Amino acid sequence: MLEGLMGKGVDVQVVVPDRNGIFNTLKNNHVTTCVLNYRSHVYPKFDSFTNALLFLPRLFLRLFLNRMAVSKLKKTVGNQHFDIIHTNVSVVNIGYVVARKMGLKHVYHVREYGDLDFGFVYYPCRKNLLKQLNGGGSYSVCITKDIQNHYGLINSKLSRVIYNGIIEKKDSDKLPDKDFDKRFFLYAGRIEEAKGVLDLIEAYLEYSKDNNSPLPLYLAGEINDKSYYNKILTKLHNNNLSKSVTFLGQVDNLDELMSKAWAIVIPSLNEGFGRCMAEAMSNGCLVVGRNTGGTKEQFDNGLKLTGEEIGFRFENVDELAKQMMMIGQMNVNDRGVYVNRAFHVVNQLYTSDNNVNEIYMFYEDILAS
């Protein structure tokens, strides 16, 4: 998004909380970057004895650091000319506070449900965030209609739905061929409860019971919850399926994995947008997804655009098991019909150019208001 906006002549400066990760990427791309030690504007976790004990010290530290960050950011803004402060998530509010103090336009880029997907509790309350999203001089970009509705912004003239820019526009002739003898199911995402991985494992167990030669299942992603991971391992061990399910950890070749997978399963309980779904579709991978959140919205968009389904939806474990059985028996041609439709959808709706153009037009409308 930043690269595209700079290509349109937008002068960009980015504020980051430390010199790790994205900081180096920005510097290497010659983006002016300011480092401020700020934190998310949500309550700390309260889900264990240790976290409960440290709750108040952590809360006070967050509030103090954010107050200091606001003071420093205000000086930075005061020394230069800015038209808009664009906060790239809903859980950071220092940009909003400074924009209000300096009389600038502010945009919240709402990429998450917050509570449903990450368990965040906004400080001091969710009502306060809703007030900010609907306040004077404040605008919002929501990455799906469902997230927009979640925050009560569905009829707001100050809010727009702009889908993530996942890919550069591709040539459909370049979709990869599949090795029919090396087919496998793929999961890509964090190993944690919110991602619904245990439901996937339960469905895989059911699928395997009714199949003499089940396709293997590969899980690619960081293990965020070790106790949850251990539950999965125990279930696999007790059902003699440890050799059929492989944990790959974080991988650098996810696009390659998607291009080789027979199908990707997205079992997330509440996916904000579902980036891996669009990435999978762009790599010629069949999608099986839970019919909720951003996953449902992508299916709905595909149905509206093509008149037919672009993948397979499920509501529960039993449905997922049946979908896996049916997809495992699919021939190349039948599978290809879905894959090509899905590729057409992602190539029309979720390109970087579309994202940048819509953001830029929103900026123009904001400044003209």
pLDDT of 172 reads: 60
Say how far apart CA 42 and CA 113 lie, in whole Å. 13
Q: Hey, what domains does the chain have and what are their CATH numbers?
A: 2-165+352-368 (3.40.50.2000), 172-349 (3.40.50.2000)
Residues of the chain with pLDDT under 50: none
**Which residues are registered as beta bridge partners of 87?**
108
pLDDT of 179 reads: 74
pLDDT of 178 reads: 73
Nearest CA among 160, 131, 126, 120 for reference residue 143: 160
pLDDT of 181 reads: 74
pLDDT of 133 reads: 92
Cα separations in angstroms, 68 against 37, 61, 268: 8, 11, 37
Cα separations in angstroms, 237 against 224, 244, 318: 21, 10, 21
209 φ/ψ angles, rounded to the nearest 5 degrees: -60, -30
pLDDT of 249 reads: 95
What is the chain's Cα-based Rg?
Answer: 22
pLDDT of 176 reads: 67
pLDDT of 262 reads: 96
Give me the DSSP letters along 95-131: HHHHHHHHT-EEEEEE---SHHHH---BSS-HHHHHH
